Amino acid sequence: MELTRAPFMPENPPGKPATWFTEYHGPGTGLTMKVLRTLYSAKSAFQEITLVETEDFGRVLLLDGIIQTTERDEFVYHEMLAHVPMCAHPEPGNVLIVGGGDGGCVREALRHETVEKVTLVEIDEMVVDCCREFLPGIAGGLDDPRVEVRVEDGVKFIEGCEEAFDVILVDSTDPVAMASPLTQVSFFRKAKRALKPGGLYAAQSQGPVFEGHRMRRITRRIRRVFPGAATYLANVPTYPGGIWSFALAPKSRRTDVRAKPRALPPDEKTHYYSPEVHAAAFTHPPYVAEILG
Amino acid sequence: MELTRAPFMPENPPGKPATWFTEYHGPGTGLTMKVLRTLYSAKSAFQEITLVETEDFGRVLLLDGIIQTTERDEFVYHEMLAHVPMCAHPEPGNVLIVGGGDGGCVREALRHETVEKVTLVEIDEMVVDCCREFLPGIAGGLDDPRVEVRVEDGVKFIEGCEEAFDVILVDSTDPVAMASPLTQVSFFRKAKRALKPGGLYAAQSQGPVFEGHRMRRITRRIRRVFPGAATYLANVPTYPGGIWSFALAPKSRRTDVRAKPRALPPDEKTHYYSPEVHAAAFTHPPYVAEILG
């Protein structure tokens, strides 16, 4: 990752340029953030891991220079990836999370009283270690006794696992390089086999503004394997276009994933998710419906 | 407006830096766009007007360096500001638009068969002229025989007008300087008087991510005058945080602005608005509900 410098910022006194990081969403569009300091920077066997403290979004985790999560807006992505499937399931007990080494989805899944076990399968141990140290508010749930953290390849894990899950959440990086196998039909078939009857699969499925082609491709592959799959949307301010999509796919096509969701325990306060948001998130603007086809 | 240069872009060949424009949303956050050329740049009596051609968003109108509208995503803002109130009204005939010199709201309002007259009151004639020349796809409706373009101060117009309107849309810049009077209680009272019985007032009301304080203040003022007011949301990719809010305020508090909307004529294809999006847009994530109080 390059930390670019933008010395023309009005708030930077002359001769004292601040460090700015820019993530490019398209050839001519980027989100730029003022970086106060870099807390962690390392190259693992899989990717470059960078943890920076920013002016507006708190601490930000970058993998290969792409924003994965920020302290300020992580609640949107994690609540929506976890609670929509978890609340669509009548009694989620055994949960598998593939990727998501920051622990955000684990934290949210644990808020459901029915959960007995959460297995996190993350390929890159250095991501887990970095987040445990620098993002304790996100990674804190990893120490819960109900959680098992396994450092291994999610594809291999799901091929070999003898367990069956009520809910499988795939919290992966963009579907290039390392994460590409997690968006293939062969993986979706294995995930479907690893679900209990009545089980639900959910995954981030890219955004419609800059990644429409990826969103369409991934969604079509998921639907080939899970004919009952549906797409829902959320506003993630730091993701390209500010809007992100998720696929919710039931093992049985007869499961209505848009049925009235089960409620979270009343003392579990959420900031983005609510039963009303759950229902509204499945509504697509016509331009999004057109991408999905 | 400054067009800043970011010479560290990987896609810029060495020695040939492209021109990039950055709009700052907070002290440490910005949206940056690659500018291919500047088509128009002038200082009117009210503001700096800049029209640039960008790599990803087509032509972009900037007022005092703030993105107002882009060819690529203008449909979201204009469809949502116009069609939610227009479809919530049983028979909008006489429409007033304050601000909105680009003509986008006029274009959308004209798609309703019941509309007999649209009055656009824009303070800055140079904005209208610039958009007529460089954004014909947005401004084209201004030449419709049902449209009257008046170059004058919206506050003074509404004080002196003898007409009454079915729908008033306020499409203003951010509530600072020139646009500040359009967010005052005194203006809302005048607008309420200028509505026919059953009439509806709508306005952009800022975004929750970076302008939460403004959104809260404006919404509270609107509610003081229009007790039946409600807030709706839309994803505008080029606005701060990618999420924007609008107030829909009925003259009579007994009007249910969330009732089933009237349909647009079937041959009027929209890209963001739909009756389902209309209904879903009034759902607020808890963090937004908290801002609104």
How many C-beta atoms lie closer than 10 Å to residue B64's C-beta? 17
Cα–Cα distance for residue pair A171/B200, rounded to 1 Å:
43
DSSP B242: G
- Average pLDDT of the residues of chain A: 92
Task: Evaluate if residue A161 carries a pLDDT over 60.
Answer: yes
Which residues in chain B are contacts of A285 at CB distance < 8 A? 76, 235, 271-274, 277
A172-191: pLDDT as tens digits: 988 887 889 999 999 999 99
Closest residue of B to A279, CA-based? B280
Residues 135-164 of A with CB under 8 A from B: none
Q: By C-alpha distance, which of A120, A104, A116, A123 is closest to A145?
A: A116
Task: Evaluate if residue B10 carries a pLDDT over 60.
Answer: no
Total residue length of chain B: 293
Q: Do A241 and B237 touch (CB under 8 A)?
A: yes
pLDDT of residue B9: 38
Mutate to test the interface with A, among B29, B33, B270 (most CBs of A within 10 A): B29
Which tokens in the block code for residue B46?
Answer: 């009210």
DSSP 3-state assignment of B36?
Answer: strand
Task: Evaluate if residue B4 carries a pLDDT over 60.
Answer: no
Looking at the complex, does the CB of residue B21 fall below 8 Å from at least one CB of chain A? no
Per the model's pLDDT, the better-predicted residue between B36 and B3 turns out to be B36
Rounded to 5°, the CA angle A72-A77-A80 comes to: 130
Q: CB burial class (10 A; 0-12, 13-18, 19+) of residue A84?
A: buried
Q: CB burial class (10 A; 0-12, 13-18, 19+) of residue A114?
A: middle
Cα–Cα distance for residue pair A32/A238, rounded to 1 Å:
10
DSSP B73: T
pLDDT of residue A31: 95
Least confident of A16-20, A61-65, A216-220, B278-282: A16-20
Contact A91, A166 (CB under 8 A): yes
pLDDT of residue B19: 85
DSSP A67: E
pLDDT of residue B158: 96
pLDDT of residue B20: 86
Closest residue of A to B34, CA-based? A28
pLDDT of residue A176: 80
pLDDT of residue B8: 34
Least confident of A12-16, A118-122, A203-207: A12-16
- The average pLDDT across A111-124 equals 98
Residues 63-92 of B with CB under 8 A from A: 73, 75-76
Active site residues of B: 171
Looking at the complex, does the CB of residue A263 fall below 8 Å from at least one CB of chain B? no
Cα–Cα distance for residue pair B274/B276, rounded to 1 Å:
5
Residue B176 banded pLDDT, cuts 50, 70, 90 = confident
Which residues in chain A are contacts of B272 at CB distance < 8 A? 285-287
Please give the sequence-ordered ranges of beta strands (E in DSSP) within A88-187, or none if there are none: 94-99, 117-122, 147-151, 165-171
Contact B155, B181 (CB under 8 A): yes
Looking at the complex, does the CB of residue B291 fall below 8 Å from at least one CB of chain A? no
Task: Evaluate if residue B2 carries a pLDDT over 80.
Answer: no
C-alpha dist (Å) from residue B64 to B48, B93, B166? 5, 34, 32
Contact A287, B271 (CB under 8 A): yes
Interstrand relation of B48-54 and B29-43 (parallel, antiparallel or unpaired): antiparallel
B235-293: pLDDT as tens digits: 999 999 999 999 999 999 999 988 899 999 999 999 999 999 999 999 999 999 999 99
Please give the ipTM for the structure prediction.
0.93
pLDDT of residue A93: 98
pLDDT of residue A259: 87
B128-146: pLDDT as tens digits: 999 999 999 999 999 999 9
Task: Evaluate if residue B174 carries a pLDDT over 90.
Answer: no
Contact A18, A98 (CB under 8 A): no
- The average pLDDT across A228-250 equals 98
Q: Do A2 and B11 touch (CB under 8 A)?
A: no
Alpha-helical (H) ranges within A125-211 are: 125-134, 136-139, 154-160, 185-193
> Which amino acid belongs to residue A274?
S
Residues 176-195 of B with CB under 8 A from A: none
Q: By C-alpha distance, which of B194, B182, B183, B173 is closest to B155?
A: B182
Cα–Cα distance for residue pair B3/B19, rounded to 1 Å:
7
User: Given B4, B26, B56, which is nearest A27 (Cβ)?
Assistant: B56
pLDDT of residue A5: 34
pLDDT of residue B258: 87
Q: By C-alpha distance, which of A145, A172, A177, A144 is closest to A247?
A: A172
A1-15: pLDDT as tens digits: 333 333 333 344 344
Query: What percent of chain A has a predicted confidence (pLDDT) above 70?
Result: 94
Per the model's pLDDT, the better-predicted residue between B176 and B227 turns out to be B227
User: Given B54, B270, B283, which is nearest A28 (Cβ)?
Assistant: B54
Cα–Cα distance for residue pair B279/B84, rounded to 1 Å:
9
Q: Do B55 and A241 touch (CB under 8 A)?
A: no
Query: What percent of chain A has a predicted confidence (pLDDT) above 90?
Result: 86
